[in-house]
Amino acid sequence: MPGNPGFGFLGKKAWVQASALRSCPIMSERSKAVRNRNISRLSQEFLVLEFLAEMLIWKFLLCVAVLQSIISNPA
């Protein structure tokens, strides 16, 4: 076995099976689907939050511009 690199790993002079190198089990298809759906929802929520933040910034800048024009040009 030590001559075949596809079946294991030689680390610190001890032969370790390739399956033992994995720290977590393989995810099932259902787990992958749930994870992908959660990531998709999270990205949609961030998209909405980014939009709201940008709208608030533009409203703030508009208010500042209006106030500056009122202050600089008194009636």
What count of Cα atoms within 13 Å lies in the side-chain half-sphere of residue 62? 6
Q: Please give the Cα distance from 73 to 10 (Å, whole number).
A: 79
pTM attached to this predicted model: 0.42
Burial of 8 (0-12, 13-18, 19+ CB in 10 A): middle
Q: Please give the Cα distance from 35 to 38 (Å, whole number).
A: 5
Q: State pLDDT tens for residues 16-32.
A: 555 555 555 566 888 88
Q: Report the share of the chain in percent with pLDDT over 70.
A: 63
pLDDT at 43: 79
pLDDT at 31: 83
Q: State pLDDT tens for residues 54-64.
A: 999 999 999 99
- Could you tell me where the DSSP H helices lie in 1-75? 18-21, 29-72
